[in-house]
Structure 1
């Protein structure tokens, strides 16, 4: 596969984030619907970026969108699955089924890590279910399990400070 073109995720791409979140929560098969993603607070907060709180993301595309990686800074009153604290962005990553196992996810993840470092974040967090094959990607890129949060699949990456 030819290297995808990367571009910033726009704040108006809610439909993309809804589809990506649906894909993420259904990684192992149908469990939730698009209505669940839109209506359930534990999913809905992943479906939009808020520039005022510092959210950011990257889209990989060729002729179509291949995947997206994004990070949100959620408040303690509305934490995500991989929440550590309000100053640690929680990342999500989704690749279309037809583009998986072709390096798109790794490319997106690395680009998001670079972006987080540019924004001077010290860490990134995420949550991944234990049987999800994406966990191998996160481990290979330096993410480690958060002690005491292993059951929730919470992982963290410490970013190198310049």
Structure 2
């Protein structure tokens, strides 16, 4: 029997959670390719830790027994400060992290679908992301309709809502 997973909206006060999730996503291979210092000091990485609802950012946190087990967030980054999965102004870039030990239970898919539903509810037409070659999460993204963006950086995918 599984433990109940609850979901709450991400808030501007969840910066440390996003910092932890961003660092884990960067080091998805298990090898420490990036450090907390890299995330803090590199603008191209640091902006993934800055959740701004007033900008139109959206996100959700999955918790079990009061502990975070996953997070999804989509940031509306501008062309002058793009993310790795940037495709156009007005297209939020999505990030997703499910903590080890909680994978394979539908948490990531649930968070992803909830974020896309919220983006659709807000009238957004498209959501993008960046995923490195070999990352197994690409299967989850493809399962909800993400596909490679022609002419964009390798690993950039988007879904039309």
TM-score of the pair, normalised by structure 2: 0.95
Partner of 1:141: 144
Structure 2 portions without partners, runs of 5+: none
Structure 1 portions without partners, runs of 5+: none
Partner of 1:122: 125
Q: Choose from 30, 35, 38 the match for 1:36.
A: 38
Partner of 2:22: 21
Aligned length: 158
2:83 maps to 1:83: no
Partner of 2:7: 6
Are the equivalent residues in 2 in contact too, given 1:66–1:95 (CA < 8 A)?
yes
Q: Choose from 88, 91, 97 the match for 1:94.
A: 97
Partner of 1:131: 134
- CA RMSD, 1 decimal: 1.0
Runs of 4+, deviation exceeding 2 Å: none
The Cα shift of 1:130 comes to 1.3
Partner of 2:57: 55
The Cα shift of 1:3 comes to 4.4
Cα distance in 2 for residues equivalent to 1:85 and 1:3: 37
The Cα shift of 1:52 comes to 2.3
Are the equivalent residues in 2 in contact too, given 1:73–1:86 (CA < 8 A)?
yes
TM-score of the pair, normalised by structure 1: 0.94
